[in-house]
C-alpha cells in the first residue's frame, strides 16, 4: 500500500468510493430509525432534539458500518491461511501519513459541525418566551406536587395574595409556554418528561427552572374528558435522580389538554373551586387537600388510585386507627402519624416518612392545621363503618392544644355564600357556586368507590364546567 | 540488529519452575507475585460484583418489586455492583497487569519501589473487606456516585465504611501510579527511548499520570463527605450554608479522568495483542502513543458533562466542546488499530478474538458517548438506561474485553501453560453475544423513557427488560468458561515455552514463568517492539528460540510427549 504508487492508488479509488457510498447510505437508513426509538414528540423542543439526534445517528451509523465492515472484511480476508503461511509475518507497514491526517481531520470536522449545531439547538431550547406561565413543582421523597397560580388572579377573604393551589398532576395545554419552577424538600430529584425531551435536576437550596411548550401531537389524542368532551394526552413526569428507596415510584401524570379552555376548566374544577368554595364536610375537603401533598409516592390508597410501596397502606386506615395503639383514639393516632410519624412504626416499615409541621410556612413539609384537620378527617373516613369513627371535636381541640394554632376550618360559612372579591369572576364560577353543594354531596357518596384521578375527572358532575 | 550471544541450551519442553502457592498469600516484593496477587484479588471481586448484577437483572425481569424486598436493598445492589466493578476490579486488575508486565517489558528486575509496590497491593484486601462490612451496618445505597444529601443525611452507616474503603483504594492507586511513572522514566534499557517502548508501557504511563493528578481530588471529596457524616460539618448541608453541587464538581473532576484510568491500559493491551496476532507492526505507533497522552490531559477538562442537568446552564456549552474534542484522539486510535489488522496474517487466538471484540464494541460506546456530549440530547438521555448502555459498552465491551484479551495473552507467560483455545472461542462467543443482547437494547429503553437506578418501572418496558435479563444471564455464565479454562490449564495445560506467540517485546525473552530475577544477564530489546516482517526480526526470534526452545506445536498428536520436538517452530494457538 505505497501511497506513491499510481496504479495502486487508482485501483483503490473505486473500492473506496463504493465503500463510502455504502456507508453513507447505510448511515442514512439507520438514521431513519429515530422516530421509532424515541417516544412521541409532545413538545416544540422534542422536534429539535430528535432532528439533532437523527443527524448524529446518521453519522454514528455510518462510522459503525465503516468500522464493523472493515473488521469483518479483515477477519475474512486477512486470516492466516492454514498452509504455508505459518511462519510468515505481515507486511512491514508502520503507518501512512496521508491516511492518518485524513482520519484525524474528518472526525475533527464532524465534531466541529456537531458542536455548532448542538449549540444552536441549545440556545433555542432555553430561550425565554414572551408569555410564559410558571408552574411550580415540588419534589419530595417520593412524590411530585405541582402548584398553579390562578390565571384570573383572584384573591379570597382579605388577602392580597392571588390564590394558588396544588395538584399531584401536571396540567398544561398545547401552545402553553411553560416554565417549571422547581424546588426539593429533601434530596436531589430530577424532573423528566420523556415525550417533551426536557430534564432538570431539583437541587436543595435552589430553585431550578426548565422550559417547554407542548405541541399538537402527530399521533392524535388518546383520551377524552367525559364531562367536557375535550381531548387530552397523558404522559409521565419521572424522577431521574436517585433519591432513595422509592425512586422508581416517583412519577406523576402529565396532562396535555388540547386547548387553553379545556385546561382552564380542569384547573377551575380541580384547584381553584375547592379553594374558593371549600366544602363544609372536612372529609371531602381532606380528599382534596391530601392530594396536594406527596403522600401518593409512598402509600396505597384505592380511593385515589395510589400505588406507593414505601409505606403502609392507607386503605381502611380509619378502622385500624381505632385499635392501633392502646389508649389512643383513632383521630389521635392519625394526627400523630402525620405530625410525629416516628412515634409509631408499622411492622415491616422504616422511619422514612417526612415529618409535617404547621409552624413554618416556608420550611420543608409545611402542613397548616386546617389541612391536617381535613386530612385526618378523610383518613378516618377510610373505614368500613357506617359512621366516621373519629370524634372531630376531639380532633380539633387536640390540634389546637398541641400546636397552639387555631383550626379555622368550618368556622365560616362556605365561600359560596360570600361574594367573590374579584370582579372578573365569570358567570361560570357563579353557576358553580349555586350548585356546589350538590356536587360535593355526590362526591361524598362516591368516597368508597375505587377511582383513579382521571376517572375522578370524568365522574365529577359537570355543573361547573361547560 | 540485536544479537544474542548466550550459550545455546534450553528449557525445551518443560515448564519453568512456578513459585509455590504459598508465596502468593504472603508479603512479597517481587512484582510478579504482586501482579498475580492484584489479578486474583480483582477477579474475585469481579465475580462478586457480577453476582450482584445477576440479582439486579433478576429483579428487573418484572416491573414490580419482587425479588428484592424493598427499594433500599435494590439501591445497595447497584451501588455495590458499580463501586466494586470500578475500584475493586478494573482499576486494580490493570494495576496487576502493569505490575507484572512493565518491569519485564523494560528488561528490568523489578519496579522502582518494590516495597511500596507490596504496600499498595496489601491495602486492597482490607479495603475490600471494609466495603463488604457495609452489609452489616446498612450498606451504601446512594449509587457509586454517592451524591449528598442522599449520601449524608439519608444513608446508613455502611456509607461511612464505603468512604473509608475508597480512601484506602485511592491511596493504593496513587502509590502504584508513582511507582509506574518512576519505573518507566528511569528503568528503560539501553536502546529503548520513549518511542521504542511497547504501547502497553505508554498506556500505563499515561494512566499513572492521571492517577497521581486526579485521585487526590477523590480523596478530598471523600474527606468532605466523611466529615459531614461523622463530624457535624456542613460542606454539603444546605441548611448550614453548604452546597450539593460542590460534591458533584469535585467528585467528577476525579471520576471522569478515572474512566480513562479504566480504559487506557486496556487500549495498551489491545495494541500489543493486535500487532502480535496479525504479525504486523502497529499502524501509527507514534499517534497512538501521543493520543494516549492527549486523552489523559484533555480528560481533565470534560468532567461536568456528567452534570448537564444540574450544572449552571450558562456553563454547559464549554464542557460540550471539550467532550466532543476528546472523540478525535480516540477515533485516531480505533482507525490505527484497524490499520494494524488490515493486511495482516490474523491468528484467531483467544487474545485476538477478544481484541477484535473490543474494537467492535468500543466503537459503539464511543458513538453513544459523542451523542451524550451534545447538551440538548443529553438533557433527554441523562440518568437513563442510555447512559447505562454507553458506559457498559466502553467498560465491558472495552475494558473487560481488553482484560480478557490480556489474560489469554499473558497467562502463558505467568503460569507456563497455555489456555485452551477451543474453550477460549466458546468463551468469546458467549461473552460477545451475551453482552450485545444485554446492553444494546438499553439504548432504546433509555430513549423511550426508562430512568436508571430503579427497581420498579413502567410496564411498557417489560419486554425489552426481559430480553436484556436473559442475555445478561448468558453473559454471567460465560465467565465460568474462563474460570474453567484456567483450572484446566493449571492442571493439564499445554506447556507454553518462553515465547509461544513469537512476539518481539521483552517479556517474552525469558522463561515462562520468568525466574525471580526476571532475566539472565541484561536483556537486549529488539529495535522495534512491533517490527514484524523483517529479516532482522526473524533473526532475533530465532536466536531467542535457540536459547529458550521453540514454541509448542499448534496441533500436537494426541499422545505427543511434551519433549517431542515439533517439525517446525510454529506459533501456538489457532
DSSP class of B384: B
Beta strands in A324-369 (DSSP E): none
Q: For all residues of chain A together, what is the average pLDDT? A: 85
Q: Does the pLDDT value for residue B569 go beyond 50?
A: no
Q: Which is more confident, B274 or B9?
A: B274
**Average confidence score pLDDT of chain B:** 92
Q: Do B377 and A205 touch (CB under 8 A)?
A: no
CB contact under 8 A, B154 and A186: yes
> Is residue B322 over pLDDT 50?
yes
- What are the tens digits of pLDDT across the range B497-513? 999 999 999 999 999 99
Placement of cell 480505533 in the chain: B334
Rounded Cα distance between B540 and B504, Å, is 8
Comparing CA positions, the residue from B436, B406, B417, B561 lying closest to residue B491 is B417
ipTM value of the model? 0.92
Q: In the beta sheet, which residues pair with residue A306?
A: A301
Nearest-Cα distance to chain B for A454, in Å, is 18
pLDDT of A441 reads 34
pLDDT tens for each residue of B481-497: 999 999 999 999 999 99
Name the closest residue on chain A to residue B572, using Cα atoms.
A86
* pLDDT single digits (tens) B88-99: 999 999 999 999
Taking the C-alpha atoms of residue A217 and residue A223, their distance in angstroms, rounded to an integer, is 12
> What pLDDT does residue B6 have?
38
| CB neighbourhood size of A20 (10 A) | 12
The minimum CA-CA distance between B142 and chain A, rounded to whole Å, is: 7
> Could you tell me the mean pLDDT of each successive run of 10 residues in chain A, 466 residues long?
53 89 96 95 96 97 96 93 73 92 96 98 93 95 92 84 90 97 95 97 96 94 90 96 94 95 93 88 91 86 86 92 88 93 88 88 85 94 88 91 88 47 38 36 36 38 36
Mean pLDDT, range B445-456, rounded to an integer: 97
**pLDDT score of B258:** 98
Averaged pLDDT, B58-72: 92
For chain A, percent of residues with pLDDT exceeding 90: 59
% of chain B with per-residue pLDDT over 70: 94
- The residue behind cell 388518546 is A222
Cβ(B125)–Cβ(B527) under 8 Å? no
Which residue in B509, B410, B511, B516 sits closest to B192, CA to CA?
B509
Beta bridge partners of A235: A254
Cα–Cα dist A218/A82, whole Å: 59
State pTM to two decimals.
0.89
Q: Using a CB-CB distance cutoff of 8 angstroms, which residues of chain B are in contact with residue A119?
A: 317, 320
Spatial separation of the C-alpha atoms in residues A341 and B74, rounded to whole Å:
24
Q: Which of A109, A203, A206, A247 to mutate to test the interface with B (most CBs of B within 10 A)?
A: A247
CB-CB under 8 Å, B345 with A242? no
Chain B residues whose beta carbon lies within 8 Å of the beta carbon of residue A63: 363, 367
Q: How far is B175 from chain A (nearest CA, A)?
A: 33
**Alpha helices (runs of H) in B233-263, residue ranges in sequence order:** 244-261
Judged by a CB distance cut-off of 8 A, whether residue B325 touches chain A is: yes
Q: Is the pLDDT of residue B226 over 80?
A: yes
Counting one residue from A and one from B, how many pairs have CB atoms under 8 Å apart?
A: 267
Helix or strand holding residue A201 (H, E): strand A198-202
Inter-chain touch B150–A89, beta carbons under 8 Å: no
Minimal CA separation from B466 to chain A, in Å = 18
- Chain A environment of B316 (Cβ under 8 Å): 122
* Per-residue pLDDT tens over the stretch A65-115: 999 999 999 999 999 887 665 668 889 999 999 999 999 999 999 999 999
pLDDT at B51 over 90: yes
More confident site: A269 or B56: B56
User: Locate cell 451504601: which residue?
Assistant: B140
Helix (H) or strand (E) holding A211: strand A208-212
pLDDT at A86: 64
Contact A119 B377 (CB under 8 A): no
Higher per-residue confidence, B19 vs B76: B76
Query: Do residue B346 and residue A107 have CB atoms under 8 angstroms apart?
Result: no
Give contacts of B 197-236 with A, CB under 8 A.
none
Answer whether A64 sits within 8 Å of B363, measured CB to CB: yes
Interchain CB contact of B449 with A (< 8 Å):
yes
Amino acid at each position: 500500500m505505497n501511497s506513491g504508487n499510481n496504479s495502486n492508488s487508482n485501483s483503490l479509488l473505486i473500492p473506496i468510493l463504493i465503500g463510502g457510498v455504502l456507508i453513507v447510505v447505510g448511515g442514512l437508513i439507520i438514521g431513519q430509525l429515530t422516530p421509532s426509538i424515541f417516544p412521541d414528540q409532545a413538545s416544540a423542543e422534542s422536534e429539535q432534539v430528535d432532528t439533532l439526534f437523527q443527524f448524529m445517528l446518521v453519522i454514528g451509523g455510518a462510522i459503525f458500518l465503516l468500522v464493523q465492515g472493515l473488521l469483518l472484511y479483515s477477519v475474512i480476508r486477512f486470516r492466516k491461511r492454514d498452509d504455508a503461511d505459518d511462519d510468515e509475518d505481515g507486511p512491514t507497514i508502520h503507518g501512512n501519513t496521508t491516511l492518518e491526517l485524513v482520519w484525524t481531520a474528518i472526525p475533527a470536522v464532524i465534531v466541529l459541525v456537531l458542536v455548532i449545531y448542538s449549540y444552536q439547538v441549545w440556545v433555542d431550547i432555553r430561550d425565554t418566551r414572551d408569555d410564559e406561565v410558571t408552574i411550580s413543582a415540588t419534589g419530595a421523597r417520593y412524590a411530585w406536587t405541582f402548584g398553579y397560580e390562578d390565571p384570573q388572579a383572584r384573591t379570597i377573604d382579605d388577602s392580597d395574595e392571588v390564590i394558588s393551589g396544588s395538584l399531584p398532576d401536571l396540567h398544561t395545554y398545547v401552545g402553553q409556554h411553560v416554565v417549571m419552577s422547581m424546588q426539593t424538600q429533601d434530596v436531589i430529584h430530577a424532573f423528566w418528561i420523556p415525550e417533551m425531551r426536557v430534564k432538570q435536576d431539583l437541587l436543595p437550596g435552589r430553585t431550578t427552572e426548565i422550559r417547554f411548550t407542548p405541541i399538537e401531537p402527530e399521533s392524535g389524542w388518546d383520551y377524552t374528558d367525559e364531562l367536557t368532551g375535550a381531548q387530552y394526552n397523558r404522559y409521565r413526569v419521572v424522577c431521574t435522580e436517585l433519591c432513595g428507596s422509592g425512586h422508581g415510584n416517583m412519577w406523576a401524570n402529565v396532562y396535555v389538554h388540547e386547548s387553553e379552555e379545556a385546561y382552564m376548566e380542569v384547573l377551575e374544577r380541580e384547584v381553584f373551586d375547592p379553594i374558593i368554595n371549600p366544602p363544609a364536610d372536612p372529609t371531602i375537603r381532606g380528599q382534596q387537600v391530601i392530594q396536594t401533598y406527596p403522600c401518593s409516592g409512598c402509600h396505597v390508597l384505592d380511593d385515589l388510585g395510589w400505588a406507593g410501596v414505601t409505606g403502609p397502606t392507607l386503605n381502611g386506615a380509619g378502622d385500624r386507627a381505632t385499635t392501633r395503639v392502646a389508649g389512643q383514639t383513632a383521630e389521635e393516632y392519625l394526627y400523630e402519624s402525620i405530625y410525629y410519624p416516628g412515634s409509631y412504626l408499622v411492622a415491616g416499615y422504616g422511619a422514612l416518612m417526612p415529618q409535617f409541621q404547621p409552624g413554618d410556612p416556608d420550611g420543608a413539609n409545611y402542613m397548616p392545621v386546617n389541612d391536617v384537620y381535613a386530612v385526618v378527617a378523610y383518613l378516618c373516613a377510610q373505614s368500613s363503618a357506617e359512621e366516621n369513627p373519629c370524634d372531630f371535636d376531639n380532633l380539633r381541640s387536640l390540634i389546637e392544644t398541641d400546636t397552639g394554632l387555631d383550626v379555622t376550618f368550618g368556622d365560616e360559612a362556605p365561600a359560596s355564600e360570600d361574594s367573590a372579591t374579584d370582579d372578573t369572576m365569570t358567570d361560570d364560577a357563579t353557576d358553580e357556586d349555586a350548585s356546589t353543594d350538590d356536587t360535593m354531596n355526590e362526591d361524598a357518596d362516591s368516597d368508597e368507590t375505587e377511582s383513579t384521578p382521571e376517572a375522578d375527572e370524568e365522574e365529577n358532575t359537570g355543573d361547573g364546567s361547560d | 540488529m540485536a544479537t544474542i550471544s548466550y550459550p545455546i541450551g534450553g528449557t525445551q519442553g518443560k515448564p519453568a519452575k512456578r513459585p509455590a502457592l504459598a508465596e502468593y498469600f504472603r508479603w512479597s516484593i517481587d512484582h510478579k507475585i504482586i501482579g498475580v496477587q492484584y489479578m486474583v484479588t480483582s477477579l474475585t471481586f469481579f465475580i462478586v460484583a457480577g453476582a450482584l448484577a445477576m440479582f439486579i437483572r433478576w429483579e428487573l425481569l418484572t416491573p414490580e418489586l419482587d425479588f428484592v424486598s424493598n427499594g433500599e436493598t435494590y439501591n445497595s445492589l447497584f451501588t455495590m455492583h458499580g463501586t466494586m466493578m470500578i475500584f475493586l476490579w478494573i482499576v486494580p486488575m490493570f494495576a496487576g497487569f502493569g505490575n507484572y508486565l512493565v518491569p519485564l517489558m523494560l528488561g528490568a528486575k523489578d519496579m522502582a519501589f518494590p516495597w511500596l509496590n507490596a504496600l499498595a497491593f496489601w491495602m486492597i484486601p482490607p479495603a475490600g473487606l471494609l466495603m463488604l462490612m457495609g452489609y452489616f451496618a446498612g450498606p451504601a445505597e446512594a449509587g457509586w456516585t454517592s451524591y449528598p444529601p442522599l449520601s449524608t443525611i439519608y444513608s446508613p452507616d455502611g456509607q461511612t465504611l464505603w468512604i473509608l474503603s475508597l480512601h484506602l483504594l485511592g491511596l493504593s492507586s496513587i502509590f502504584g501510579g508513582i511507582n509506574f511513572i518512576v519505573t518507566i522514566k528511569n528503568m528503560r534499557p539501553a536502546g529503548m527511548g520513549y518511542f521504542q517502548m511497547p504501547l502497553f508501557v505508554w498506556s500505563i504511563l499515561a494512566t499513572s499520570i492521571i492517577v497521581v493528578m486526579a485521585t487526590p481530588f477523590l480523596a478530598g471529596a471523600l474527606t468532605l463527605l466523611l466529615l459531614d457524616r461523622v463530624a457535624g460539618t456542613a460542606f454539603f448541608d444546605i441548611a448550614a450554608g453548604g452546597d450539593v453541587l460542590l460534591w458533584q464538581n469535585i467528585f467528577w473532576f476525579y471520576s471522569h479522568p478515572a474512566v480513562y484510568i479504566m480504559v487506557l491500559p486496556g487500549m495498551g493491551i489491545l495494541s500489543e495483542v493486535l500487532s502480535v496476532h496479525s504479525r504486523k507492526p502497529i499502524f501509527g505507533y507514534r499517534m497512538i502513543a501521543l493520543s494516549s497522552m492527549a486523552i489523559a490531559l484533555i480528560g481533565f477538562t470534560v468532567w461536568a458533562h456528567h452534570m448537564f442537568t444540574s450544572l449552571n446552564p450558562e456553563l454547559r456549552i464549554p464542557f460540550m466542546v471539550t467532550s466532543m474534542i476528546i472523540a478525535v484522539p480516540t477515533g485516531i486510535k480505533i482507525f490505527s488499530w484497524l490499520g494494524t489488522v488490515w493486511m495482516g496474517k490474523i491468528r484467531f487466538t483467544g487474545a485476538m478474538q477478544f481484541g477484535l471484540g473490543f474494537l467492535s464494541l468500543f466503537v459503539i460506546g464511543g458513538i453513544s458517548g459523542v451523542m451524550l456530549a451534545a447538551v440538548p440530547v443529553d438533557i433527554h438521555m441523562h440518568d437513563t438506561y442510555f447512559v447505562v448502555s454507553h458506559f457498559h459498552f466502553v467498560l465491558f465491551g472495552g475494558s473487560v474485553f481488553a482484560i480478557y484479551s490480556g489474560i489469554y495473552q499473558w497467562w502463558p507467560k505467568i503460569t507456563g501453560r497455555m489456555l485452551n483455545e477451543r474453550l477460549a472461542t466458546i468463551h468469546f462467543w458467549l461473552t460477545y453475544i451475551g453482552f450485545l443482547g444485554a446492553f444494546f437494547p438499553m439504548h432504546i429503553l433509555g430513549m423511550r423513557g426508562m430512568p436508571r437506578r430503579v427497581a420498579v418501572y413502567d410496564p411498557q418496558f417489560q419486554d425489552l427488560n426481559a430480553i436484556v435479563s436473559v442475555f445478561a444471564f448468558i453473559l454471567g455464565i460465560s465467565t465460568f468458561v474462563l474460570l474453567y479454562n484456567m483450572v484446566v490449564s493449571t492442571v493439564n495445560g499445554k506447556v507454553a515455552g518462553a515465547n509461544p506467540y513469537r512476539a518481539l517485546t521483552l517479556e517474552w525473552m525469558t522463561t515462562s514463568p520468568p525466574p525471580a530475577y526476571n532475566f539472565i544477564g541484561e536483556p537486549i530489546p529488539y529495535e522495534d517492539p512491533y517490527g514484524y516482517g523483517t529479516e532482522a526480526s526473524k533473526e532475533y526470534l530465532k536466536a531467542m528460540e535457540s536459547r529458550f526452545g521453540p514454541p509448542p506445536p499448534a496441533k500436537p498428536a494426541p499422545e505427543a510427549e511434551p519433549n517431542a520436538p515439533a517439525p517446525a517452530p510454529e506459533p501456538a494457538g489457532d
